[in-house]
Amino acid sequence: MKKRLTAAALLLPLLLSASACSGNNTPAGPVTLTDQTGRTVTLDAPAEKIVSCYYVSSYAVMALGLSDNLVGIENKADTRPIYALSAPEFLELPAVGTMKESNVELIASLDPDLVIMPQKLAESAETLTGLGFDVLLVNPENHEDLCGMLSLIGDACGVSGKADELIAYYDAQMTALDALTAGADAPTVYMGGNSSYLTTAPADMYQSSLIALAGGVNAGADLEGDYWTEVSYETILAYNPDVIVIPSGADYTAADITGDTQLSALTAVQNGAVYTMPSGIEEWDSPIPSGILGAMWLTSVLHPDLYSAETFTADATSFYETFYGFTPDAALLQ
């Protein structure tokens, strides 16, 4: 079992680099796309100059090898460590706005061929469309939509082959993970929210599917909703999870949880099974192009006997080398 995953991880980059040669040769010409809010966008030619108003789409631009084509980026780019590692030029780009507001005039002055915006900025998108710019609205809230977004951007920029490679990698890894953890004991995992460990991931949240993929049972699976849901101490005690996972972007640390006297009796705390998802590169707990690493990391935490930390480090390193063109420091991956 362990062998198979390692083999897949070793083979994949080879396979991918082979297909990459053919993938970039999409013929130039008008491209008609339907974005993730159902709008129709027609580009005369594959986009050369791109503005991204959302960090997830900026990550996608990077993962698709389009870093040189980005001319504008969302605010607070300096808070995303991956930029400095993979595309330091991003930090010099003009900041065009936040998730809530975008600087339409600044975007217009950059004269982009394509603007990628989150669904929340639909209003600004209409304004820009009215000015004659092509805008793609994306909404990568789950794995399917993440893949959809990668395909959209790939098609719009003439690198659909690169998007297919990424998606093929995800599929291969997911199949491998499923096979790996099938039949193994599934520990109960409590995933704390970003703002407080008294919030957790409910059934319909991305993080819940991530736990399932890693061969765990989400403690909050009975909760309804698709966003961090507040729970009480008592509820956590009643769940009594085997493992507590703190997401990459959390405002608190494992010491806060282990030091909380109300939680000292939890199995996870007693066994020292409180883990923080690595945050040195990207937020692996969210639907971003490297989100698959979150599931792989969690598998290595929940089932170290089936998928060791070393194997994970090797897999993650080769992922970044293949798609992002840099070799991460091993310390950033644990």
Q: Does 108 bind another protein (CB under 8 A)?
A: no
Q: Does 36 bind another protein (CB under 8 A)?
A: no
Q: Which of 131, 233, 310, 327 binds another protein (CB under 8 A)?
A: 233
Q: Does 196 bind another protein (CB under 8 A)?
A: yes
Amino acid found at 90:
F
Q: What is the DSSP string of 123-165?
A: HHHHHHHHTT--EEEE---SHHHHHHHHHHHHHHHT-HHHHHH
Q: Does 131 bind another protein (CB under 8 A)?
A: no
Q: Does 195 bind another protein (CB under 8 A)?
A: yes
Q: Closest separation between CB of residue 268 and another protein, Å?
A: 15
Residue 286 or 300 with smaller CB distance to another protein: 286
> Rounded CA gap, 34 and 186, in Å?
40
Residue 197 or 324 with smaller CB distance to another protein: 197
Q: Does 225 bind another protein (CB under 8 A)?
A: yes
Specify the residue for token string 């992922």.
Answer: 319
Paired tokens of 260: 């909380």
Residue 249 or 325 with smaller CB distance to another protein: 249
Show the site string, 240-269: x = touches another protein by CB under 8 A, - = not.
---------xxxx---x----xx--x----
Q: Which of 20, 163, 231, 273 binds another protein (CB under 8 A)?
A: 231
Q: How far is CA 299 from the centre of its chain?
A: 16
Q: Does 142 bind another protein (CB under 8 A)?
A: no
User: Across the strands, what pairs with 5?
Assistant: none
Q: What are phi and psi of 191, to 5 degrees?
A: -100, 115
Helix/strand/coil for 246: strand
Residue 32 or 79 with smaller CB distance to another protein: 79
Among 308, 200, 198, 326, smallest CA distance to 257 is for 198
Q: Closest separation between CB of residue 206 and another protein, Å?
A: 13
Residue 9 or 231 with smaller CB distance to another protein: 231
**DSSP structural state of residue 73:** B
Cα separation of the two ends of the chain = 23
For the CA atoms of 294, 292, 231, 203, the dihedral, rounded to the nearest 10 degrees, stands at -150
Q: Closest separation between CB of residue 264 and another protein, Å?
A: 9
Instruction: Answer yes or no: are the C-beta atoms of 289 and 322 closer than 8 Å.
Output: no
Q: Does 202 bind another protein (CB under 8 A)?
A: yes
Q: Closest separation between CB of residue 318 and another protein, Å?
A: 29
Strands 199-200 and 229-230: antiparallel
Q: Which of 100, 132, 182, 272 binds another protein (CB under 8 A)?
A: 100
**Pure H helices in 49-121:** 55-63, 81-86, 104-109
Residue 111 or 230 with smaller CB distance to another protein: 230
Residue 179 or 233 with smaller CB distance to another protein: 233
> Rounded CA gap, 310 and 324, in Å?
20
Q: Closest separation between CB of residue 328 and another protein, Å?
A: 23
Q: Closest separation between CB of residue 22 and another protein, Å?
A: 38
Q: Which residues bind another protein (CB under 8 A)?
A: 98-100, 193-196, 198-199, 202, 220, 222-225, 228-235, 237-238, 249-252, 256, 261-262, 265
